[in-house]
Structure 1
Amino acid sequence: MTGGYGTVDILQGCSISVNKGQVAVIVGPNGAGKSTAMKALFGMLKLRAGQVKLNGEDISGLSPQDRVAKGMAFVPQTSNIFTSMTVEENLEMGAFLRRDAIQSTMDQIYELFPALKNKRHQPAGELSGGQRQQVAVGRALMTQPKVLMLDEPTAGVSPIVMDELFDRIIEVSRTGISILMVEQNARQALNIADKGYVLVQGANRYTDTGEALLADPDVRKTFLGG
């Protein structure tokens, strides 16, 4: 993918893919184009070159809403919940494109995030940072996506909450949903990644399994603090 804002290309020919039921993680320094890559994949940024494919189908010309209908879900880093709505109303909003019964999906989300079930009638804005992220992920899962894209899901949460969120992300991937995630906590994220991408200035610098990247001395020294 090549593209950016105005006449400036942030993405310089980067390639990213994730297979069914896998966790793929994008890491790299600030300004590397990680979040821009996610926006491009979701259709929020027009590409100047390259294409986006889902299950082999070219969806490059589709709007974000049409990509949701095709099976893509995106959780942005900020402003990702409706704070004045209850937890349950937030989840219901996630099912806006569906025409079937949604209760069984909601039950699965409450099973995944038990704390949300107890607070389902509470305004989402009253929840802790970690619980808000659970609401955001839960709402995305209500669309029954094939690919779940998460931009900095653990930003601003405690290490304990981060570990718990990563555990839940692994659980979701085991149901066959592909997870593509941008994460600042590179070491922890690569630890759960089937595939890892290190972006630098909008281009792929390293691509390998999470395990191999964690073991690579150059990656460790430059991006993981030694």
Structure 2
Amino acid sequence: MTQPFLIGDSMTGGYGGADILHSCTIAVEKGEIAVIVGPNGAGKSTAMKAVFGMLKLREGSVRLQGEDITSLTPQARVRKGMGFVPQTSNIFPSMSVEENLEMGAFIRHDDIKATMEQVYELFPILRDKRRQAAGELSGGQRQQVAVGRALMTKPSVLMLDEPTAGVSPIVMDELFDRIIEIARTGISILMVEQNARQALNIADKGYVLVQGENRYTDTGQALLADPEVRKSFLGG
């Protein structure tokens, strides 16, 4: 069997004493969108942080392109091609949009102009506001800066923790459209999302977590069509 492009395999762990994740498995293929959904306190963001190395696993492993990266720091994982956008504190508010993007390229020693141009093509409003302090932007525009900054590392995997938290439905739809565009370039997307129905609609694969365990795993469309999933997690 071929290995998934990225997998957090049978992950068990938590912060200090009690385990939050219980033999939880999350995987994403190259160029696919995988979405983690579930009720509050299900361990969704914890699973994401475990994959990125922000949580020490008691059991299980994380592999990227077949390589075991379980012992690597988050910084080392960025160098391996993982980009992570946390839900909060994900921009430098006093810096300009352009400076935020430049900070995203901190690990690179080549010319970053072409990547910056790609970010501006993906998010045209950022080009217009590139000299403006990022903290002055709307919530949706700040999210675009955060995603753009992660893309500046030229990641092979982009991990997004609640990318549409606190934005309007119109902005959410626009962000999801951009996420689809990013995946089409071959970048794998792994995201945690509260707007489960909309997220599963764009997902190649969906994971429903409950109390740190895998409850349902299937394609996004299959989960949307599953009466049990709809009743319990999607409001009917």
TM-score by length of 1: 1.00
CA shift, 1:155, in A, is: 0.2
1:69 alignment counterpart: 79
2:140 alignment counterpart: 130
Looking at structure 2, the residues matched to 74 and 83 of structure 1 have their Cα atoms a distance apart, in angstroms, of 18
1:200 alignment counterpart: 210
| 2:220 paired with 1:210 | yes
1:160 alignment counterpart: 170
2:3 alignment counterpart: none
| 2:43 paired with 1:33 | yes
| 2:53 paired with 1:43 | yes
Looking at structure 2, the residues matched to 146 and 51 of structure 1 have their Cα atoms a distance apart, in angstroms, of 19
Alignment partner for residue 160 of structure 2, among 129, 143, 150?
A: 150
Looking at structure 1, the residues matched to 34 and 118 of structure 2 have their Cα atoms a distance apart, in angstroms, of 23
CA shift, 1:6, in A, is: 1.1
Report the RMSD for the aligned CA atoms in angstroms.
0.3
Looking at structure 2, the residues matched to 62 and 175 of structure 1 have their Cα atoms a distance apart, in angstroms, of 26
1:172 alignment counterpart: 182
Total equivalences in the alignment: 226
1:189 alignment counterpart: 199
Amino acid in the other structure paired with 1:87: V
Structure 2 runs not aligned, ≥5 long:
1-10
2:107 alignment counterpart: 97
Render the CA deviation track for 1:101-157: whole Å, top value 9, x for unaligned. Answer: 000000000000000000000000000000000000000000000100000000000
Looking at structure 1, the residues matched to 159 and 220 of structure 2 have their Cα atoms a distance apart, in angstroms, of 17
Looking at structure 1, the residues matched to 180 and 30 of structure 2 have their Cα atoms a distance apart, in angstroms, of 13
TM-score by length of 2: 0.95
Structure 1 runs not aligned, ≥5 long:
none
Amino acid in the other structure paired with 1:202: G
Question: What is the aligned-residue identity percentage?
Answer: 81
SS at match of 1:169: helix
1:13 alignment counterpart: 23
Moved segments of 4+, more than 6 Å:
none
CA shift, 1:72, in A, is: 0.3
1:81 alignment counterpart: 91
> Whose relative contact order is higher, 1 or 2, with alpha carbons under 8 Å and at least 6 apart?
1
Render the CA deviation track for 1:76-95: whole Å, top value 9, x for unaligned. Answer: 00000000000000000000
Looking at structure 1, the residues matched to 51 and 206 of structure 2 have their Cα atoms a distance apart, in angstroms, of 17
